[in-house]
Structure 1
C-alpha cells in the first residue's frame, strides 16, 4: 500500500512556484537611479581630472621636483621643499598615530571591560573626536603644542597635530578589523595553551591586517591632504630649503598649492595643477602599498 502524496498548497496569489520573479517597477527604477548617480559622479571626476591634467601638462617635468619655489622665475620654479616637507610630516604622523591607534584598538577590543564607565567614556570620546573639524585640531596644536610646550612651528608640531587628527579614524578602523576576526580562532589558540597576548600577536593581528591597512591608508590620505591645520601651525608658503630634522621649518604640498593658486600669473596656475597631480600620485602610491599588503595577508588567511 503506497503512502499518500502530500501536495504543496498553491500560493495565495495563484502564481506557480516555478514561475520567475515578479517584475517590480519600483526596484528597477531605484536601480537605474543608483546607476545614474554613479555615472554622474564618474563624469564629474573624469572632467575634473582632465581639466587638471591639461592645466598641468606644461609643467609635468623634472623641474617640478628638482627645483625650489621661485617668485621671480615661475618657469623654473619647483616644489622640492614642499615634497620633502610632505614626506617628513606624513612619515612622522604615521610613526606617531599608527602604533598608538592600533594598541588602543587592541585594548578596547581584547582587554577592556565594556561595563566599566571609563571604558564607555573612552569609546564615546573617540567616536565624537572623529567628527571634529580639522581646523579645531590646528588651533589645539597652535595653542598647546607650539606655544605652551614650546615646540614652535616645526615638523614635530605638524606631525603631532595631524596624528591627533587621524588617530580616531585609526582606532575605529582597527577595532572593526579586530572585531571581524572569528572568535573560533581565539578559542582554538587558547585551547592549545597560548596566552592571550600570544593569541593576539600571532593569530588575531595577522588576520586583521587587511582591515587595519585599509583604515590606516584612509587616515594618512586625509592627513596628507589637510591644509587648514598646517596653515594654523605656521607652515611657511615660501621655503627655499628641505627640512633637516624635527625642529626644522617646513612647507607641505597643500600649502604650496594654495600659495601658487593665489598668484595672478598663469605660470603659477600651471605649477599648482602640476603639484596637484604630484600629490595625487603620492596618494596612489600609498593606496597601492595598502592594497598590496591587504592582498598578501588575505591570501594567507
Structure 2
C-alpha cells in the first residue's frame, strides 16, 4: 500500500518546516577531474566538476528552494585552471554545491602550482562562485603517493600550507583509499564517503590503495603536518605568519576515508562532519512471508 500524503505540512510551525528542509540537504561527493579543452586554436586546462542530479530540496517548492539557497552556491563546473586570455570562451555550465556538507574530490591534479591557481579562482565568488567557503577536500592516495618528497628535491607537499592560508575555511583534507570506478562514473551521486575496510591478517584492506602499507605511509606523512610544520620555504613561512596572526584559527587536519557505491540516500555521514562518519549501515532484509495454513485452500485427497 502506498504511503498516504501528508496534507498538513503547511500547518506546521515555520521553524519545524525549515528544520525538515535542512535535513533533506544530504552530503555529496563532487568529482573534480582535470582535463584539456582542445580546439584548432588553443589548448586550455580545465577542471570539470560533476555531482549528479540537482539536490531535491532545491526544486520541491518556493520555501524549500529559498531555504536551500542559504546553504547552496552556484559554482562553475568547467573552470579554467589558469587565469589567462584564451580563444576558448568560458563555459556557462554550473552546479549547485553546499560546502558545509559536500566534499570536493580531486581525482587527479595538474602541476601543484596550477592547482593552487585553480583553487583561488574557484573560491572567488565573481569567478568560480564558491565564495571561499570550501570545508572538505579530498585526494586519492595514489596521487599523494606520487607527490612524496624525493631526497635532494624541494617537497611539493609544502603547497598544502599555502592552500590552507588561501582557504582558511578548510577543515578536513581527506586521503581517499579509492579503488572504485568513481573517476569515470556516469552517476557520481550514487557514491558516498565511508570508513575504510578493516585490515586483514595479510595486511590488505580493500584493493591496492587500502593496504596497511599505504595507510601507514599516509599517516607518517600527514599526522602532524599542520601542528608541527617541517622544512623551509615561503609557503611554510606564510602559514606560520597566518597562524600567529589568527590564534583562534582551527587548524585543518588529514583523515583517511574510502569512497563506495551505496544505495541512494544511504550516505555514511548523514550530514555529520566527516570525522564522525559511522560504520557502514546494515539494512535489515525483509522477512519472507509464509502462507497461513488456516486460510489456505486444501486440495481434495486423491482416491486410493
TM-score by length of 2: 0.22
Tell which has more relative contact order, 1 or 2 (C-alpha 8 A, sep 6+). Answer: 1
Structure ranking higher in strand proportion: 2
Give me the TM-score of the superposition, normalised by structure 1. 0.22
Structure number with larger C-alpha Rg = 1
Q: Which has the higher helix share?
A: 1
